[in-house]
Chain A
Amino acid sequence: MASEEKHIILETRDLAVGYTSKRKSDVIASGISFSVSEGELVALVGANGIGKSTLLRSLAGMQASLKGEIFLKGKRLSEYGMLQMANELSVVLTETPASKNLTVLELISLGRQPHTNWMGTLSEEDKKAIKFALEATNTETLAQSKCYELSDGQLQRVYIARALAQDTTLIILDEPTTHLDLYHRAYVLKLLKKLANETGKAILYSTHEIDLAIQLSDKMLVMTHETCYFDRPKNLIADGRFDSLFPTETIDFDKNSGRFTIKE
């Protein structure tokens, strides 16, 4: 392996995801092959119900995959113990944390759980990681606020800070821009970009903001009913991968601007 080549953190080979019941397995998406390297921001896009969340849940080890393989830092995901995985992979989910009574600092500190002893005592290293997470997400001023007092935009930053505090090589985010206004959508994605560049973390997120994702992501995974495409955004545009993402009688993709327009 060439020394200047970036390390691959997450890789899938011909992965199929879905649900299994006693009688049959229900494949939601298949033929997924892609990788996320160190310092890369990768977007996962596709229509509603195409299996984005299912794929992310499988990648995060929250549900079993049906076929193919997932490698995390070159080791099969299924070979990881729970705590070991928690040291490599953190998540930001669409569900809101159960307790809104937590303070921002408490919530972010919980990200240190895989690293602390049975009492959850915070060492100097833990405190440093928490401080970094607060600063990186610009949430220092919110530290003592209760979560129920925050806006959606602030909350999203807090959830990202918690994942940062967990200090993993890979962060997986499920639709981190939902419910946010345009400014916060751009803010969150720029933050992810900056984090990937500056900390060398591999970041994978799903989104419906295809326009923004094209502008900010290093690579994109486009899921359609038939297959999945994985490449740099400009190559995907050139190959016309976004053209048929949505029914063309309603929405058109403009290759020059990289934006979707509503058909008159």
Chain B
Amino acid sequence: MEGVQTYKAYFVILVLLLFLTFLLNLSLGSVSIPVNEVFSALFGGETAKSSWQYIIIDYRLPKAITALLAGSGLAVSGLLMQTLFRNPLAGPFVLGLSSGASLGVAFLILGASAFGGFFGSLLLSQWSLVIASALGSFLVLLAVLAVTFRIKDTMAILIIGLMFGSVTAAVVGVLSYFSNAEQLQQFIFWSFGSLGNQSWQGVLIMAICCFIGLAVSFFSSKSLNALLLGENYARSMGLHIKKTTFVIILATSILAGSVTAFAGPIAFVGLAVPHITRQYFKTSNHFTLIPAVLLSGGILMLFCDTVAQLPMSEFTLPINAITSLIGAPVVIWLLVRKRKLLF
């Protein structure tokens, strides 16, 4: 297996790109802040306008970190799913993970009134949002997996994932019918996907979850590499399939679940980023691919968020719209150019 060494130059470029997009993301927005002022705000220096300090530290920095975490987390979870399900179309969105998370959050936000008063507000704390969302995606993934053990055909599994998506969407529909306007609005804004309005505490929780998920993923690299040969070959090389599958699914649902909880269901990043990365990193070694996909996911998300802020204007577009607008053409372009998607 070719290691990280072979792609050293690529990694340097990715890290530089990440810094660039990160700074760009901090600097651009409804108010443009010069890059040198961004630096002085970050490192506690004086800014030309005192409001800039506030904008950077309390609004844009948490948002940029959220974007970075969301992009990395979703992209790596997509890579894991593609290897686990041996299907290039797998991703958190396609397999119904995001819908599962939506269901969890829907139950929480729309069902909170049922518990009423103090208990209701307790439920809506940030941790509970994460847990509900992670639990939702975990349950959907378990269901998809239960089917996987019975059906070997991966196409069938994808279709079942899509069906789960439809069912959860229907349940969310029923729940919204019975909830009041305020709750509905809260849920709909969540479902648009939003990286902003994140408290530092929220960013910290998200970072911890993503870090755990990414670490578990990275430490599963050897098993993931074995899975590239298929289950039977992997087993013949001494791999515990059930244990490995469980660990990978756990990592995926922590990543997809926590990102979806904080940033809403974000489309296409999980599916598209691993494929984009494979265009440059011509290896299947997960020890190389995971860091590469992680960096690429962060870069793409920061870029999408910068576009979504519509620099120099008052408006902000839903992040979900931007990732779809960029992600869908990329997948189509890859398919047309290579005629097939490999993983």
* Chain A interfacial positions (CB closer than 8 Å to B): 60, 62, 82-87, 89-91, 93, 95-103, 105-107, 109-111, 113-114, 116, 118-120, 122, 146, 148, 162, 166
Contact = CB atoms under 8 A, between A and B. Distances in A.
B26 to A, nearest CB: 36
Interface stretch (B133-141, B220-228, B319-327): B220-228
Contact of A82 (B228, B239, B282, B283): B239
Given A113-B222, A118-B222, A122-B1, A91 B278 contact: no
Contact of B228 (A102, A105, A116, A120): A102
A62 B235 contact: yes
B155 interface: no
A110 B237 contact: yes
A106 B230 contact: no
A88 to B, nearest CB: 11
Contact of A113 (B230, B232, B238, B240): B238
Contacts of B86: 98-99
Size category of the B interface is 20 to 34
Contact of A120 (B83, B222, B278, B282): B222
B343 A62 contact: no
Given A106-B285, A109-B1, A113-B226, A85 B238 contact: yes
A106 B283 contact: yes
Nearest to A60: B236
Contacts of B10: none
A110 B236 CA distance: 11
Interface string B204-235: 00000000000000010110011111101101
A150 to B, nearest CB: 14
A99 B287 contact: no
Contact of A166 (B237, B240, B342, B343): B237
Contacts of A60: 236
Nearest to B226: A113
A101 to B, nearest CB: 4
A98 B283 contact: no
Given A62-B232, A99-B342, A101-B342, 18 more contacts: A85-B238, A86-B236, A89-B236, A97-B230, A98-B229, A98-B230, A99-B229, A99-B284, A99-B343, A102-B228, A107-B229, A110-B1, A110-B237, A111-B237, A120-B221, A120-B225, A120-B287, A162-B229
Nearest to B342: A101
B230 A95 contact: yes
B278 A113 contact: no
9 contacts: A91-B236, A96-B230, A97-B230, A103-B2, A103-B283, A106-B2, A113-B239, A120-B221, A120-B222
A83 B235 contact: no
Contacts of A85: 238
Interface string B244-266: 00000000000000000000000
Contacts of B343: 99, 101
A60 B231 CA distance: 14
A103 B225 CA distance: 12
B209 to A, nearest CB: 23
A83 B222 CA distance: 14
Interface in B88-132: none
B333 to A, nearest CB: 18
B237 A106 contact: no
